[in-house]
Amino acid sequence: MKDNKKEFLRDCARYIRGEVSEISLRGDKGDCVLFANALKESRNLYEKLNEENPSISNVMGALKRKHKASKKLRMGAGFTWPF
């Protein structure tokens, strides 16, 4: 199980950085939605941080949305989002 989690987190990081355009999620539908939202918001934050001239207000908004998605994932699925 530990190797599966490590591989999953590696794939998540690759998605967040834009190295892959999609990631496959399997499992409970509610949990998958929570993971998908955390991934989406993490990628959005990464993109905001890597804009040519990032706006602090855009970055802070993206950071708040990512924190909110991470908290929902922790509360709903019991998974602490490492990104």
| φ, ψ of residue 29 in degrees (nearest 5) | -60, -45
pTM of the model: 0.90
Q: How does pLDDT run across 40-73, given as a tens digit for each residue?
A: 999 999 999 999 999 999 999 999 999 999 999 9
Distance of alpha carbon 47 from alpha carbon 11, whole angstroms: 17
pLDDT-derived band of residue 2, with 50, 70 and 90 as boundaries? confident
Report domain extents, the chain. 2-21+28-77
